[in-house]
């Protein structure tokens, strides 16, 4: 039987009203195909019907009709292996849609697309086909220029953009072979063709100091320089505070106020004060730089601040949200200077309850610029030359220490606030940006003290905003992802732990209890890591939905307006309430809420961009650091398991990949639910959290990638004994 006849026979079968899904061999049996050549042709016909979406293959290997296609709009997230996922815009659709490479339809990473979604198979991620590109997510791509005689091409740094960009000889822009460049795409790819573009900016040789980090900022299209009109406006603001500036402000210049920040910090936007007004009541003041006084809505300064939405802090470069004259001068609460602030002053009892509060424009005069390291030493009883300057503030610091412990124990822990205790690492670089060391940093009590006070102020301001009835911006954190939770609970059973009651969604208190239960477990680190992965991202919204991880009914960001635009919005809303009270017409409320919703959404997006930049630069510098250690061996632990290998984390948190293809001692099968690889023939297991010794086999700075291979375990045999075993 010929292929055309086979197709006609199958079409007749599947067009029957009572057609039931067939397996492949059932098609062959029903048509009566027995010859090898005919069975091969049947396979080709069935594959073609699947490709044309006339049939789909379900998880149980049966071929059935696709359900009526539904369309979804979302953003494409590319993958290094050619396929992609579309993240739906509709918040009710919680699952991403898998897009095979053949169904990308010329779309690139970050494009806004329309997807035709096929019927979902049980237990499988929905699959779809991109039918329309609604909006390109990027027009510029950063990469390395490779020059030929009459043409060139740019290899993208972002491996999610999986096609090189062709560049004609008239569009080189004087780029040299190997230069980092920005290429503007002028003709998008169709089918197998590469996109075409022209070089619009030459960043320079990747080995030139600063070019590597600059290329990451350019990749995310994040601004690194301020427009001239913004700098002119910022520099024109007078340094002196006038009587007009002071009108209506609470004068707190006689109050003992100070800042506590990192050793290298230069922008101080929060200061604190404390008094004990009775045996059981503390008066805590959190005083935040009043950026809203200087950055007026609709001005060039404001437009640029909203565009950036956040400052970006990388290993060796800070790109601030506001120009230097504001971030490090006018709005920085430097010691021995009068500064305009907004103060949240709270009376707190020994149960951690806020009995009363006031939020008001104010003016302060900071008495001291303290650092976390010296305050930690001082609170630990170290009386040294380094800590001598803190002696006059001993009473205040001890009072703050007492209150911070009360807030943590009586307020946060009792309501189920989750404390994911994990280490962080720091990459130290020299004056040329070359990494010279990577080491862990631990948080001392002074960092926790500031955290407790800022959390309390943020909650108090959020409650104030909620009760006002006016539109406000909140920092919301949704409940964990249900699908990830189910997998996590299955994983916990293996070690004898549980998360909440069976059949019920776990609460934040259940997570808190789990963190306590695993405290002394050898599996603490990997369980904490997976618990973190169940959590969804916190976002800014103009509607109060609460903060799951903190166990807070009301939460916002109020304490960092120098570096976060949402905090600036909150300050403006506080000013609005102070100047006009709670009265506002309904149409005005609606318009204001719509505006705040857009600003909050943009701020959330830019926050993710900043996180990605900071992460990518750190990975880049770690890879550069490890390039000097190729061939060396290190002890680590498995920090992630995938279908293509496993990641190993070293004690300083540098992470590298052991590829499946390099595991030559067996054929390994990926167990997704238990996060492990299992050898098919000999049963060897590589699983999350397992200690492993690795050798560095490669490190690519620009790809931000480190390669490891497993060092075979020492079996205790001498060289002679090993030879005997081999001969035997």
Structure tokens at 314: 């990388």
525 contacts 531 by C-beta, under 8 angstroms:
no
Q: What is the pLDDT of residue 119?
A: 61
| 3-class SS letters over 265-286 | CCCCCEEEEEEEEECCEEEEEE
Q: What is the pLDDT of residues 56-70, one digit of tens each?
A: 887 667 888 776 668
Structure tokens at 49: 């019907």
Q: What is the pLDDT of residues 213-250, one digit of tens each?
A: 999 999 999 999 999 999 999 999 999 999 999 999 99
pLDDT bucket at 533, cuts 50 / 70 / 90: confident
One DSSP character per residue, 150-170 reads SEEEEEESSTTS-S-EEEEGG
Q: What is the pLDDT of residue 669?
A: 94
Flag whether pLDDT at 535 surpasses 50: yes
Please state, in angstroms and rounded to a whole number, the distance separating the CA atoms of residues 143 and 182: 7
Report the chain's mean pLDDT, rounded to a whole number.
90
pLDDT bucket at 717, cuts 50 / 70 / 90: very low
Is 523 buried (19+), middle (13-18) or exposed (0-12) by CB count in 10 A? middle
Q: What is the largest CA-CA distance in the chain?
A: 98
Which residue, 363, 380, 535, 536, is CA-closest to 445?
380
Flag whether pLDDT at 718 surpasses 90: no
Q: What is the pLDDT of residues 143-200, one digit of tens each?
A: 999 998 889 999 998 888 878 999 998 999 999 999 999 999 999 877 668 899 999 9
pLDDT bucket at 604, cuts 50 / 70 / 90: very high
296 to 236, 300, 571: CA distances (angstroms): 14, 9, 11
Name the more confident of 106 and 375.
375
Q: Which residues have C-beta within 8 Å of that of residue 306, sequence separation ≥ 6?
A: 565, 599, 602
Q: What is the pLDDT of residues 256-300, one digit of tens each?
A: 999 999 998 888 999 999 999 999 999 999 999 999 999 999 999
Which residue, 468, 472, 465, 470, is CA-closest to 344?
465
| Helix 372-379 vs helix 445-468: crossing angle, to nearest 10 | 110
Which residue, 141, 130, 123, is CA-closest to 85?
130
Flag whether pLDDT at 72 surpasses 70: yes
What are residue 214's DSSP bridge partners? none
Q: What is the pLDDT of residues 383-435, one digit of tens each?
A: 999 999 999 999 999 999 999 999 999 888 888 888 876 778 999 999 999 99
Q: What is the pLDDT of residues 90-128, one digit of tens each?
A: 766 667 888 888 888 888 888 999 998 876 544 467 888
Q: Residues 686-697: what's their mean pLDDT? A: 95
Flag whether pLDDT at 638 surpasses 50: yes
Structure tokens at 277: 């007004």
Flag whether pLDDT at 451 surpasses 80: yes
Please state, in angstroms and rounded to a whole number, the distance separating the CA atoms of residues 618 and 52: 44
CA torsion, points 708, 626, 178, 109, in degrees to nearest 10? 60
Q: Can you list the domains of the chain with their CATH numbers?
A: 3-64 (1.10.10.10), 70-135 (2.40.50.140), 140-205 (2.40.50.700), 228-441 (no CATH), 464-620 (no CATH), 630-710 (2.40.50.140)
- In the chain, the percentage of residues whose pLDDT exceeds 70 is 95
Q: What is the pLDDT of residues 518-532, one digit of tens each?
A: 988 888 888 888 898
Q: What is the pLDDT of residue 591?
A: 95
Q: Please report which helix (H) or strand (E) contains residue 14, including its range.
A: helix 3-14
Which residue, 318, 207, 314, is CA-closest to 702?
207
pLDDT bucket at 703, cuts 50 / 70 / 90: confident
Structure tokens at 469: 């009835």
Neighbours of 100 (CB within 10 A): 12
Q: Which residues have C-beta within 8 Å of that of residue 465, sequence separation ≥ 6?
A: 472, 474, 544, 554, 556, 570, 573, 574
């Amino acid at each position: 039987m010929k292929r055309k006849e086979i197709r006609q026979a199958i079409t007749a079968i599947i067009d029957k009203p009572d057609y039931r899904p067939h397996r492949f061999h059932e098609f062959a049996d029903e048509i009566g195909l027995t010859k090898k050549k005919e069975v091969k042709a049947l396979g080709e016909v069935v594959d073609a019907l699947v490709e044309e979406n006339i049939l789909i293959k379900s998880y149980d290997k049966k071929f059935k009709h696709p359900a009526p296609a539904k369309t979804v709009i979302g953003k494409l997230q590319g993958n290094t292996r050619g396929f992609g996922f579309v993240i739906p815009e509709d918040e009710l659709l919680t699952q991403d849609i898998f897009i095979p490479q053949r169904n990308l339809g010329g779309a690139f990473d970050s494009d806004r697309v329309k997807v035709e979604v096929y019927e979902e198979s049980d237990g499988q991620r929905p699959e779809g086909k991109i039918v329309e590109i609604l909006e390109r997510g990027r027009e510029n791509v950063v990469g390395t220029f490779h020059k030929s005689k009459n043409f060139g091409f740019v290899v993208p740094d972002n491996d999610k953009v999986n096609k090189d960009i062709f560049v004609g000889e008239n569009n080189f822009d004087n780029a040299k072979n190997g230069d980092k460049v920005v290429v503007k795409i002028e003709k998008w790819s169709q089918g197998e063709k590469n996109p075409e573009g022209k070089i619009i900016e030459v960043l320079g040789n990747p080995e030139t100091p600063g070019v590597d980090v600059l290329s990451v900022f350019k990749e995310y299209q994040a601004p690194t320089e301020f427009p001239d009109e913004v700098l002119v406006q910022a520099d024109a603001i007078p340094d002196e505070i006038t009587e007009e500036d002071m009108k209506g402000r609470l004068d707190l210049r006689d109050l003992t106020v100070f800042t506590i920040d990192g050793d290298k910090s230069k922008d101080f936007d929060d200061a604190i004060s404390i008094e004990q007004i009775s045996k059981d009541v503390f008066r805590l003041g959190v005083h935040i730089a009043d950026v809203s006084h200087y950055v007026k809505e609709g001005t060039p300064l404001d437009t640029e601040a909203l565009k950036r939405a956040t400052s970006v802090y990388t290993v060796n470069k800070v790109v601030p949200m506001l120009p230097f004259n504001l971030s490090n001068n006018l709005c920085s609460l430097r010691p021995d200077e009068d500064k305009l602030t907004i103060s949240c002053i709270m009376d707190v009892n020994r149960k951690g309850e806020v009995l009363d509060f006031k939020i008001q424009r104010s003016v302060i005069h900071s008495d001291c610029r303290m650092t976390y390291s010296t305050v930690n030493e001082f609170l630990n009883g170290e009386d040294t030359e380094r800590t001598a300057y803190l002696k006059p503030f001993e009473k205040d610091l001890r009072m703050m220490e007492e209150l911070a412990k009360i807030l943590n124990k009586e307020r946060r822990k009792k309501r189920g606030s989750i404390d994911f205790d994990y280490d962080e690492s720091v990459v130290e670089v020299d004056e040329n940006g070359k990494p010279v060391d990577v080491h862990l940093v631990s948080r001392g009590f002074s960092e926790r003290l500031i955290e407790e006070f800022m959390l309390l102020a943020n909650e108090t301001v959020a409650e104030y905003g909620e009760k006002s009835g006016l539109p406000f911006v909140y920092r919301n954190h949704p409940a964990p992802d249900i699908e990830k939770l189910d997998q996590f609970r299955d994983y916990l059973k293996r070690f004898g732990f549980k998360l909440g009651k069976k059949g019920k969604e776990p609460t934040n208190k259940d997570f808190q209890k789990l963190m306590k239960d695993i405290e002394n477990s050898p599996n603490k680190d990997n369980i904490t890591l997976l618990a973190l992965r169940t959590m969804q991202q916190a976002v800014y919204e103009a509607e109060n939905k609460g903060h799951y991880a903190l166990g807070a009914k009301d939460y916002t960001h109020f304490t960092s307006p120098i570096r976060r635009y949402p905090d600036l919005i909150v300050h403006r809303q506080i000013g609005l309430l102070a100047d006009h009270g709670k009265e506002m017409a309904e149409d005005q409320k609606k318009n204001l809420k719509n505006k705040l919703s857009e600003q909050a959404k943009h701020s959330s997006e830019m926050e993710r961009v900043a996180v990605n930049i900071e992460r990518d630069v750190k990975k880049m510098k770690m890879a550069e650091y490890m390039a000097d250690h190729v061939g060396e061996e290190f002890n680590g632990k498995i920090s992630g398991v995938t279908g293509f290998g496993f990641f190993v984390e070293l004690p300083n948190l540098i992470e590298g990949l052991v590829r499946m293809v390099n595991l030559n001692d067996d054929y390994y099968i990926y167990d997704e639910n238990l996060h492990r690889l299992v050898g098919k023939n000999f049963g060897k297991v590589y699983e999350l959290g397992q200690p492993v010794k690795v050798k560095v086999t490669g490190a690519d700075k620009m790809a931000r990638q480190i390669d490891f291979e497993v060092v075979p375990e020492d079996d205790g045999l001498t060289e002679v004994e090993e030879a005997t075993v081999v001969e035997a």
